[in-house]
Structure 1
């Protein structure tokens, strides 16, 4: 199994990721695309700024890949998170997993995003339409 872990300031190329994880043995490629939404707790969001402790973020993203391999027969996986300023509607994270069967894929995908939010040191600063802003830990 190959693992593609990336932190990037560029727009995430979802089609490239899906193509890279798809193998002849893949019966299912399941994906999660997290996007910046326009509202948080009733407040209008204008944009988000993402930052990370990059060495630790890469290490914990790799750890998630190891955990997935221990629990499910994942053939290929990719976890890509964008850093920097993102506007409403832009993708902040894209996860793609290739497995032989879809049921295992959905379980592994849910685990991967939940675990990501739990352990990866990425933070976001929310900028609201009223001009205010606040830092939020990734898990929230």
Structure 2
């Protein structure tokens, strides 16, 4: 890592992780919001998307708050996730971690988000809020 403090951007939209059967395709519009992801293994299909978009009856975990590392990050950057995760381990906050081509993301349980932000700030990270980026059907 560089000597510059790591900058995290906290998105306000609640996200969930949905579990589908192996090879299944989501039958809803899951690609909205600040972060959306579809992952497949031989045992499951997982979808990360806005909580409001998942139909009733789908197995989900969450809600989570998405936290984006200001990027782009170099592929040879070392220690980014450790810098994010180590302060949270000390206060027993579990997260889900994701990488995209340009940056890293963590999903923090919504009920732990305020504590996570405070812990990161005490550890010297910069944490800023972002504006709503997803569709809001209210």
Same fold (TM over 0.5): no
Q: Which has the higher strand share?
A: 1
Q: Which has the higher helix share?
A: 1
* TM-score for the superposition, normalised by structure 1: 0.33
